[in-house]
Amino acid sequence: MSGAADRLKVVVNHLDRPSSFVQASTSGQNVAYYQPQALRYSFDNDLLSTEQRISYEEDGFLLIKGLVSGEHIDRFR
């Protein structure tokens, strides 16, 4: 097989596997029911709230409103 075909096979293999990750909504009501052992990419410390950790696990990024001022955003556009 070619290198591209091998990589595609690996990706398809990853997609076909049943996920051990438990999906949960980021709404405040569901946060209390989220299983902490399912959080794989963040640490349980005081840097992020549980809601931020769940959002990061689901989305792969954090949205922190007001982190960059509107002036800076306009300046760097």
DSSP states of 8-74? HHHHHHHHHSPP-SPP---SHHHHTT--GGG--SS--STTS-HHHHHHHHHHSS---TTSS-HHHHH
| pLDDT in the model for residue 23 | 59
Query: How far apart are alpha carbons 56 and 39 in whole angstroms?
Result: 9
Q: CB-based contacts of 34: which residues, under 8 Å, 6+ apart?
A: 22, 24, 50, 54
| pLDDT in the model for residue 62 | 94
| pLDDT in the model for residue 6 | 83
Which residues of the chain are modeled with pLDDT < 70? 1, 14, 16-37
| pLDDT in the model for residue 3 | 82
Count of the separate structural domains present in the chain:
1
| pLDDT in the model for residue 51 | 92
For 46, the domain range is 3-75
